[in-house]
Amino acid sequence: MDFTRLIAPIDGIAGQAQLQVGALVSPSSGPVTSVSTLDPIKVYFTVSEPQYLAWRKRFPTESSRLEADRNLRLQLILADGSTYPHEGSFYFADRQVNEGTGAIRLAGLFPNPGNILRPGGYGRVRAVVRLQHDALLVPQRAVSELQGGYQVAVVNNDHKVEIRTIKIGDQAGSEWVVAEGLKPGETIVAEGVQKVRSGAPVNPKPFGQETKGK
């Protein structure tokens, strides 16, 4: 019987010891502690199945897909709302889609000097997956969803409301990209959308900076 020294096979940080100095250990006494590799650290997040399929369909060959995955840069928004200063890279996609949520689990690797990020922490991951020039944006609050479709209240030259069905694209912050149904320069209702009806006269007023020019 003698004291021994335990050496982890990986680099990382050890958690709180479950057994103390002098304790007798055996296969049945449980783990002495747990070690986590923190630099780089894996960050897990989910995307919807349509988003995942749309990304994959953009790259028809294996080589182009792998190249796109390598070039994908990830940003991490921490629990306090700040942006983590180091960019991450795509690591892997899980083997299956979750049947309950319709989402697939992905993982990214983030540099973690100083071990600021710890296992179990919360954050949001975002990435630029496509650039769309001259996109037409409208505030999300101006868009009404009805039976799977989307509508906006357009104000015509006579200051009367026209309820119009639109096709939305990606989300950009607090705004939607409008793919079809609106033209640049048209005026829409951004406040009190639920109160207006088709043909109703309105007295339109600017709705702050976020809707300027929309």
From CA 108, how far away is CA 196, in angstroms rounded?
Answer: 45
Residue 84 belongs to some domain of the structure: yes
Reduced to 3 states, what is the DSSP secondary structure of residue 202?
coil
Residues 101 and 154 in one domain: no
Show the tokens assigned to 109.
Answer: 């690797």
Residue 182 has a pLDDT of 81
pLDDT in tens, the chain (214 residues): 567 777 888 787 788 888 877 777 777 878 888 887 788 889 999 988 888 888 888 888 888 888 888 888 999 999 888 899 999 999 988 888 888 888 899 999 999 888 888 888 898 998 877 777 778 888 888 888 877 788 888 888 888 888 888 888 777 767 778 888 788 888 888 877 777 777 778 777 777 644 444 3
CATH number of the structural domain spanning residue 109 = 2.40.30.170
Strand partners, 35: 14
Last residue of a domain, one of 127, 158, 184: 127
- Please, what sign has the CA dihedral across residues 13, 19, 23, 26? negative
Question: Last residue of some domain: 106, 127, 148?
Answer: 127
Choose the final residue of a domain: 100, 127, 154: 127
209 close to 173: Cβ distance less than 8 angstroms:
no
The span from the CA of 112 to the CA of 81, in Å, is 18
| pLDDT for the residue numbered 2 | 67
Domain span holding position 197 = 137-211
- Per-residue confidence (pLDDT) for residue 211, from 0 to 100: 42
Does some domain include residue 28? Answer: no
Q: Are residues 147 and 99 in the same domain?
A: no
Evaluate whether residue 10 is within a structural domain: no
Residue whose pair of structure tokens reads 């958690």 in the numeric block:
15
CA-closest candidate to residue 155, choices 203, 191, 208, 195? 203
pTM exceeds 0.85, yes or no = no
Same domain, 147 and 180: yes
In a domain, 8, yes or no: no
> In the prediction, which pLDDT does 87 show?
92
Total structural domains within the chain: 2
- Strand-pairing partners, residue 151, are 144, 165
